Amino acid sequence: MSNKFSRRGVLKSGAIAGSGLLLPTYLRAESHSGFTNAPTGSEVVFGFNVPQTGPYSEEGLDELRAFQLAVEHLNGEGDGGMLNTFSSKALDGAGILGKKVTFVTGDTQTKSDVARASAQSMIQKDGAVMITGGSSSGVAVAVQGLCQEAGVIFMAALTHSNDTTGKDRKANGFRHFFNAYMSGAALAPVLGNVYGTERRAYHLTADYTWGWTQEESIAASTEALGWQTVEKVRTPVGAGDFSSYIAPVLNSGADVLILNHYGGDMVNSLSQAVQFGLRDKMVNGKQFEIVVPLYSELMAAGAGSNIQGVYGSMNWNWQLQDAGTQAFVKSFGEKYGRPPSNAAHTSYVQTLLYADAVTRAGTFNPCGVVEALEDFEFDGMGNGPVLYRGADHQCFKDVLVMKGAENPTNEYDTLEIVETTPRAQVEYAPDHPMFAGGDLGQCNPGA
Amino acid sequence: MFGLNQKDTKFLLIVVTLTLLTPFLLNPFPTDSAMAQFNAGYPALMQRFAIYGLMAIGFNILFGLTGYLSFGHAAFLGVGSYSAVWMFKLLSMNILPAIILAMIVSGLFALAIGYISLRRSGIYFSILTLAFAEMSYRLAYSVLTPITNGETGLQLNLNDPRVLDGVADTSSLPVPGLFGLKMNSTYTLDIGAWSFDFNVGFYVCAVIAILGFYMSLRIFRSPFGMMLRAVKSNQQRMNYTGLNSRPYTLAAFVISGIYAGLAGALLAAMDPLAGAERMQWTASGEVVLMTILGGAGTLMGPVLGAGFIKYCENIFSKINETILHSWFSFLPDSLESVVVWFFARFVGEGWHLTLGVLFMLIVIFLPGGLVEGGQRIASWWKNRGKDEDSSNQPAE
Amino acid sequence: MDAIILQFFNGLEKGSAYALIALGLTLIFGTLGVVNFAHGALFMIGAFCAVTLRKVFEISKVSLDPTKTDFLGKPLEVKTPYVEAWFGETIGSAMINYSVPLAILLTIPVMLFVGWAMERGLIKHFYKRPHADQILVTFGLAIVLQEIVKYFFGANPIQMMAPSDYSGTVNIGAILGMDIFYPVWRLVYFFFSAVIIGGVFAFLQFTTFGMVVRAGMADRETVGLLGIDIDKRFTLMFGLAAGVAGLAGVMYTPILSPNYHMGMDFLVLSFVVVVVGGMGSLPGAVAAGFLLGILQSFASLNEVKAIIPGIDQIIIYLVAIVILLTRPRGLMGRKGVMED
């Protein structure tokens, strides 16, 4: 098999002033470099594969902003952002291994098929050596599988399902974002403190793989507190009107509603639950409460005042006060006039981490990069000390427990940080039952 | 030749030649030029052209000939993909068993749905097929996840049995192949500043698509095809003459369902993953749009329409503002930002707008679809050089 | 019992939306014979009329508050809506509070204009064209309208609040001596749609104009032979259908946060409703809308889902298949409409 797709800036040798074009030259200028899309010229290409159309396109666009910022910083433009606070000092702002970073973008439409087609075109046509992006776990898992087969690195951005680094983990794929298990582990103790240990929870869950893993994780960690799970109800994705799922909650005897929804579904189900007066109800002598385990600040703005006082979790938030966060928020804010979302943060960090790993490995060869990233410990990227665990390629770091702000002053501070849950509390064994059944396999350099 | 008259043979040969030369035709720009962004000759996209072309050819047998507008053909595509991936998981990475099973399963599926849906005609038929497809999609996405792997899509695993392949190495996933010829192997030919990819998978798809095209040509010219056209022009009169049209329409429905299943199997063979959204109504609608856009009822139209939509989806969506800036950097700064702003609305995140505008323009100005555009150019050409032979224009 | 009553009301409210959209679609089918894939987009535009009006009301005078800072450490911008500055704080904030119902006043002229422009500019040329062409051109138009809205408002859902007086719940079980609380705005939506539906039927039933249109729906050729210029009336019918879709959208915003592709989400559903009701039948469309809404609500009950898993996902399509197989032209369809 000879997948030799790279063709970037190589073949000018044949163009000896005009006459070169007349003669077919059957040559490949680069030697067999041993891995897919080995960069040969003065540039290296990244592929940014995000949803640009469809319901998640705002998040995709925010990721894209962060990617572009990261590329600027890698190439030594702008103020350098987190490069100044990153604990590894291998990157010097002169590109990667002396090569200037360029990028191509694609539209996943939040569909696994389309996302794979787009990633294929980045690999085959544009010679991308690393693909990143995401918006849904289905897409991330699908593209991660493709990158494994093609022999390029996949740096997952926004994907929260346990499966991405659980049963669908791949040697060429890495995830910086947190996952459903971590949400549960971080959120449950806080919920126990504020709502007590005698609660009865009712789950409304988006009926697909991400929803199920989150439902499983949250139910397990709240039941460990002593909560009971009254009912777990699956709702169709994109249902719009959730009223017929919310109405049964009223008489179920439950006193907490857990919404395992994301994006537009979350906005609608939360607003409608509030409309039905759930938050004004007293059940079992307790105030009825709603919990949204995974928050997205872009969507939180859409839920408006309904989100006040509702607990959830996040990977990162721009209101953190550490040096890395401040450096990133400053350069992002000055370039785009708005604070970055946590999707933007993970995208930015993943790009830098990849560049750093390449520099430390001294090669773009995926196997070298995998080796450099596995069990890599770093700091200064906004989450405190972080470990990229080698056993499953999942990052371990602090998790934020958030609450809808009571008095937001603008559309960007609709959420406030309640607690920074320490990393030790959200760690788990690589073969934890919720993550079992996966096999990294071996790194694949392709070609 | 091939049981076709001279004109059709010539037409077929032209199609075959064009298909086989696709890697050249789609890469007209030198690799390093600014226009290289418009090159579409990379394996994954060429494969999709052939596969969706095949699907549209099959759809056209039903819609173009009988006029029955099915809004559920994506279900057959999805069923074909799922069957193929299951074959890869359980039996062998050879694509032949996968293709055969996919055709059988999608054929049976089409038989069942067609048997019920064809009891009604017109829009009632359309809605029945839509309902079946949308049910398949929703169940595949949620309740049937053990079979379909839901949102993530059905994919290969290292520990799949694959009984015929024997013990494979356990470090990396196997690649679908045809008796050892791997679908993803590519030979890259560099000529001067140009670069052309010859991919095994594309040629497998292309050969199957040509066979599918030949089959459809034969059907169009056969008495069976005449019968289907009669259904379209006046089904009532047909019934009054004592002919029962149902078996004919059902046969057309099943044939086009098998085409869709075959296309689904090829999608899975080129890229072994089957996602539920392949069955969504938007996917069915896309096939309808491809056929109408190209020219329903014509032989070449649906293929052109398929190529057109897939080209927009894969090429326009990848042009971002950075690329636009590099194109228009010769303009003065203030003008450049205006021009870039304008074009940015139509590419990248705005490529849907391009698609919508083009749909409208084509249907307004070319009522017969892209094929009519081709015919107009051809006749315009003919009128200029009076004695020019016109036989290379599409036969329908 | 409580649960069943609640689901019945949920069904009525869902059904009101389905019925309103299907009503407009049927008006266009029945009178003009046009398959309008842009009807969902009209619903969406109506919803965004409400968003626009609120945004207009919220256009604010910006002043800097040096005592507070924003996320970059610069002085915080304080915004005061102009309407509050002009009309006083009470009236101004009341206008913002009531922006959804007030948007009706904006929606009616906007939708009539959009409908008129669509019919005169585009649809008119497609009366004699095959349905396939109509689908393609209206689908293209729907995409264009969506993308324009996306450019101005972004892709995320935008929350719209019902006026605060109507945003709570009310005890609908009080008559029966039970405590069943239901959101007020959903009841408002139900009554609103009942008024609109009644209005459209009365218009067609009791005006000369309506009589001519009904005659045109039944037999276009004969009406033409009687020397009546049916086309002119059909332009107005298109505007009316667009208006109904727009009104359905504008009042639905507090229930469903509008986003730019909400029209596509409703499109397929509304076609199913129309066909189940029977092509060309206005009462059929309304009946089918409520029927499917109520059935969908009951299928979402946990007790029902326990018997048939996933039934809530497919109930609408399943019912559509059963009805079409038992009643060839839907509930009240007329012979010969859209059967070619």
| Mean pLDDT across B132-141 | 91
Residues A95 and A139 in one domain: yes
Residue A48's pLDDT is what? 94
Cβ burial, residue A321 (10 Å; 0-12/13-18/19+): exposed
Residues A242 and A383 in one domain: no
Q: Is A446 among the domain residues?
A: no
Q: Which residue in chain C is spatially nearest to A236 when comparing CA positions? A: C313
Q: Do the Cβ atoms of A356 and A97 come closer than 8 Å?
A: no
C202 vs B155, which has greater pLDDT? C202
Q: Is A121 among the domain residues?
A: yes
pLDDT in tens, C143-183: 999 999 998 998 888 888 888 888 888 888 777 777 788 89
Interchain CB distance below 8 Å, C297 and A233 = no
Residues A195 and A252 in one domain: yes
Residues A160 and A196 in one domain: no
pLDDT in tens, A71-105: 999 999 988 899 999 999 888 888 999 999 999 99
- Give the CA-trace dihedral at C300, C305, C308, C312, to 10 degrees: 20
Residue C104's pLDDT is what? 92
Q: Is A17 among the domain residues?
A: yes
Q: How far apart are CA A224 and CA A187, in angstroms?
A: 12
Q: Is C63 among the domain residues?
A: no
**Both structure tokens of B336:** 């450049």
Residues A291 and A365 in one domain: no
Residues A188 and A268 in one domain: yes
The single residue listed with the structure tokens 């450019």 is C151
Residues A289 and A328 in one domain: no
Range of the domain at A58: 11-178+319-392+430-435
In Å, what is the CA distance from B102 to each residue of A260, A372, B226, B264?
36, 43, 29, 8
Chain A contact for C300 (CB, 8 A cutoff) = yes
Range of the domain at C318: 2-58+84-326
Domains in chain B, please, with CATH?
Answer: 6-297 (1.10.3470)
Residues A276 and A172 in one domain: no
Q: How far apart are CA C1 and CA A249, in angstroms?
A: 14
Q: Is A62 among the domain residues?
A: yes
Name chain B's partners: 3 or more CB pairs within 8 A: A, C
DSSP three-state, residue A267: helix
Contacts of A57 in chain B (CB under 8 A): 349
Contacts of A275 in chain C (CB under 8 A): 162, 167, 169, 183, 185-186, 254-255
Going by pLDDT thresholds of 50, 70 and 90, the confidence category of residue B80 is very high
Q: Is C235 among the domain residues?
A: yes
Best residue of C4, C77, C170, C259 to probe chain A, by most A CBs closer than 10 Å = C259
Q: Which residue in chain B is spatially nearest to A16 when comparing CA positions? A: B192
Contacts of B363 in chain C (CB under 8 A): 133, 136-137, 140
Contact partners, residue B52, CB within 8 Å, separation at least 6:
B263, B287, B290, B306, B307, B309, B310
Residue B386's pLDDT is what? 58
Going by pLDDT thresholds of 50, 70 and 90, the confidence category of residue A230 is very high
Select from A182, A132, A184, A183 the least CA-distant residue to A158.
Answer: A132
Going by pLDDT thresholds of 50, 70 and 90, the confidence category of residue A23 is very low
For the entire predicted model, the pTM comes to: 0.88
Interchain CB distance below 8 Å, B195 and A117 = no
Shortest distance between the Cα of B190 and any Cα of chain A, in A, equals: 6
Residue A233 has pLDDT above 80, yes or no: yes
Residue A117 is inside which H or E element, if any? helix A112-124
The single residue listed with the structure tokens 């069904």 is C11
Residues A224 and A366 in one domain: no
Mean pLDDT of the residues in chain C? 86
Chain A contact for B175 (CB, 8 A cutoff) = yes
Going by pLDDT thresholds of 50, 70 and 90, the confidence category of residue C338 is low
Going by pLDDT thresholds of 50, 70 and 90, the confidence category of residue C310 is confident
Best residue of B113, B132, B135 to probe chain C, by most C CBs closer than 10 Å = B135
Residue A21's pLDDT is what? 36
Q: How far apart are CA A176 and CA A156, in angstroms?
A: 7
Residues A292 and A337 in one domain: no
DSSP three-state, residue A43: strand
Longest dimension (CA), chain B: 74
Instruction: Name the residue facing B138 among C147, C314, C340 (closest C-beta).
Output: C314
Residues A93 and A56 in one domain: yes
**What is the β-pairing status of strands A395-396 and B177-178?**
unpaired
| Count of structural domains within chain A | 2
Residues A153 and A230 in one domain: no
pLDDT in tens, C210-267: 888 888 777 777 877 887 777 777 788 889 999 999 999 999 999 998 988 888 888 8
Shortest distance between the Cα of B130 and any Cα of chain A, in A, equals: 18
Q: Is C72 among the domain residues?
A: no
Interchain CB distance below 8 Å, C268 and B130 = yes
Q: Is C139 among the domain residues?
A: yes
**Both structure tokens of B376:** 């107009």
Interchain CB distance below 8 Å, A264 and C2 = no
**CATH number (domain holding residue A237):** 3.40.50.2300
Q: Which residue in chain B is spatially nearest to C333 when comparing CA positions? A: B124
ipTM over 0.90 threshold: no
Residue C159's pLDDT is what? 85
Residue A308 phi/psi, 5-degree rounding, is -60, 125
Q: Which residue in chain C is spatially nearest to B290 when comparing CA positions? A: C136
